[in-house]
Amino acid sequence: MLTLSDAAAELVLETAAGPVAALRAAPREAHTTVVLCAGIVGSKEDFLPLLPALSEAGYEAYAYDYRGHYGELDGESPDRHTIERHAADLAAVLEHTGGGGPVHLVGHSYGGFVARAAALARPELVLSVALIGAGPGMDGARHRKLLSGFDATLALQGSAVMWPVVRRLVPERDVARREFWRRRLSGMRLAFLHGALRSLTAEPDRGADLRATRLPVLLMHGHRDQRLWSARDFADYAERLGARLEVIPDASHSPNLEQPALTAAALLRFWRGAEHRRAERLFLDLVRPRALADPYETYRTLRERTPVLRVDLPGKAAAVVLSRHADVARLLQEPSFQSPGENPALLTPNWRDVRLIRCLYQSFGWREGTVHSELRTALARRLVPRRAEELRDETAATAEECLDRLGARLAAEGTVNLAEALAVPFAALVLGRLLELPDAEALRLGEAARAASAAFEPFMTPRQRLEMAGAGEEIIDALEALAADRPSGLLGVVRQLRPDAGEQYLGDLALLFGAGYDSPASLVTLGARLLLAHPDQAALVRDDATAERAVEEILRVEPPVQIAVRIATAAARFGDVEVVPGMAVLGLVGAANRDPAFVPDPDRFDVLRRPPRPALSFGAGRHYCPGAALARMHAQVLFPRLLRRFPGLRTAGPARYRAPGTMLRGIEDLPVTLEGGR
């Protein structure tokens, strides 16, 4: 027989509903919690045989006793012990043990009815429900008669009426377990037993209700467990629940005690499937074509519970999603993971239908080999950090010009959209002057680029797709005409390496402008929102000396590029997931940057933070953004000046984020005003 020291520690949970006696088994690293509820004459110790396997598999498990289960209390009424009351107690246990997240819930026999009631009342606290030896309901005539007879016998004989059952379950040679049961029965509170039995007689079949919660459900029973429900009853109930059915061989009503290894294996199989389905739903919800105010909680859940997720994207090929920093860094650096422009149909089957998408997929940023490396190298030579520093004074002059206009608008209008009043003109003018474009054209193309940014979103609404396609035509046509008149500079570099001036050339132009504009513009709005939400940090950034670290922290916490996409060209493995050649792999940069394995306390915004290495916001490896130094310099110049010029700048309402904003994150509307007029 297992002892506590073998499997678990005994403790008291001080929940909102009162203290609860429990056993806890915790592995070295646990990201998912399991709560186990005992049967009517059971106790937390009924789950001791399961706990080593659950802990070994990485689950933190709590088995507990109902309040009022054991120990005498004179004058206590059975009316206090109902399924609903114990379900409320269970909900308090779930809140106490879940650490803010939902848990896997297991109920044996009477505990199954309590677990079902708790899941129906508080589904947000539950990841899945496993019912062991608990059938559909007990309010029918046969069950009422059976339970009422047991209740009457209990009143005459006390809890000793259960001793014959124990003798059948526990072999005579198992002296220690028999003694344990003898002590258990002698300490049971009759008020609890009477109340629970009477509550069961009114318990209906609530399978449709549980199914409506869409929680994954496992129904398990021993193959000899047919006293209360037949095998057909269990099977029909599983069908009504939409549940998985497991029949444990060589077991009756308590497979957790009679066949613990098989029971634990069935639970682990079920939980893995439930966790995968939940992670898949979370990710698919993440990539819906809508604005995302805060994807980071979803990222955290994926990183902690399913850090490597295989997902079938609707209308697209299967993909693997990575959310840990080490995995995403590996994806970006290993040469066997290539940019999707080498096989665009894997991600976007209809990629040829829209001119902007068609051209961008052929551009240097989405290709490999010399198509990528020659142009990237030529551009990088002209965008090195030294060149960025040479442009600092010119960038500062542009920043002051944009801040003058912002100040005038704030004085005239009171509240303005910082994205439209500062981020768009600053990013467009700085880039336009670098590319030797007229200011009016740069500003017009900056506005168009906001709509065109949806080009590589995995899903778009018809309206978003139409707006993206129209903006793309505008950008391509304008850049083609402007580049023809500018044989020197960066546009000239592109023309020299693409003499045929075909779609690849047009894609290179569109990518050069789009990437050079979009991330810097988004960095302004995302960074400004962070700084205005953290005035203590903003006070530090008014000093130019902290600007460099502050920009790195903004990029880590709110990267404008949220997801990196690659195609596997060779077999690989991440965790226990196999990646086959031709499979898309998505690296969640926004999740990787907030991995506690990368930096401690990763959700805290700290402009003085010194991470061990730069975040992955500009990529890594051969596709590292060649304009990263320029983008950093632009933000380092702007933020201290913005905060010094307008110390009273405050947000005047919630931010409205880009839609869709799965791949490229940005803010469309950041209303700001001046507190105290300055």
DSSP string, 380-393: HHHSSHHHHHHTHH
> In angstroms, how far is CA 330 from the centroid of its own chain?
20
Instruction: For residues 61-69, give the mean pLDDT.
Output: 85
Residue 234 near residue 242 (C-beta atoms within 8 A): no
The answer for residues whose C-beta is within 8 angstroms of residue 256's C-beta and 6 or more apart is 46, 47, 49, 50, 108, 132, 263
Q: For the sheet with 649-651, list strands across it.
A: 415-417, 671-674, 649-651
pLDDT at 2: 44
**Percent of all residues in the chain with a pLDDT value above 70, rounded to a whole number:** 97
More confident residue, 215 or 163: 215
For residue 4, pLDDT beyond 70: no
Cβ–Cβ under 8 Å, residues 324 and 589: no
Nearest 5 degrees, angle CA 418-CA 423-CA 426?
130
Question: Which tens digits make up the pLDDT trace of 617-660?
Answer: 999 999 999 999 999 999 999 999 999 999 999 999 999 999 99
Distance CA 342, CA 348 (A): 12
Domain ranges for the chain, please list them: 4-279, 291-677
Least confident of 30-44, 154-168, 215-229: 154-168
- What is the residue type of 73? L
Of 95, 101, 47, 550, nearest to 305 by C-alpha is 101
CA distance 101 to 117: 19
4-279 and 291-677 in the same fold: no
- From residue 342, give the alpha-carbon distance in Å to each of 19, 61, 516: 61, 47, 23
Fold of 291-677: Cytochrome p450 (1.10.630)
**Number of other CB atoms surrounding residue 227 within 10 Å:** 10
The answer to whether the beta carbons of residues 61 and 54 sit under 8 Å apart is yes
CA proximity to 379, closest of 496, 204, 244, 219: 496
Structure tokens at 58: 């990485």
Rounded distance, CA 232 to CA 239, Å? 11
| pLDDT of amino acid 19 | 86
The CA angle 41-45-48, to the nearest 5 degrees, is 135
Q: Which residue is it, tokens 């009924």?
A: 46
Where are the strands (E) in 138-213, listed by range? none
Burial of 580 (C-beta count, 10 Å sphere; 0-12/13-18/19+): exposed
DSSP 70: B
pLDDT tens for 542-562 read: 988 999 999 999 999 999 999
Average pLDDT along the chain: 91
Q: Cis omega (within 30 of 0) on the bond before 660?
A: yes
Q: Which CATH class is domain 4-279?
A: alpha beta
**What number is the average pLDDT over the span 260-268?**
97
Q: What's the token pair of residue 353? A: 């239908």
Closest by CA to 586, choosing from 263, 341, 277, 283, is 283
Q: What is the pLDDT of residue 13?
A: 87
Residues 489-519: pLDDT tens digits? 899 999 999 999 999 999 999 999 999 999 9
- Kindly provide the residue ranges of all beta strands, DSSP E only, lying in 283-354, ordered along the sequence: 308-312, 318-322, 337-338
CA distance 301 to 156: 52
Q: Which two tokens stand for residue 225?
A: 């467990």
Instruction: Return the closest-CA partner of residue 678 out of 639, 643, 654, 653.
Output: 643
First to last CA, the chain: 74
pLDDT in tens, 200-236: 999 999 999 999 999 999 999 999 998 889 999 999 9
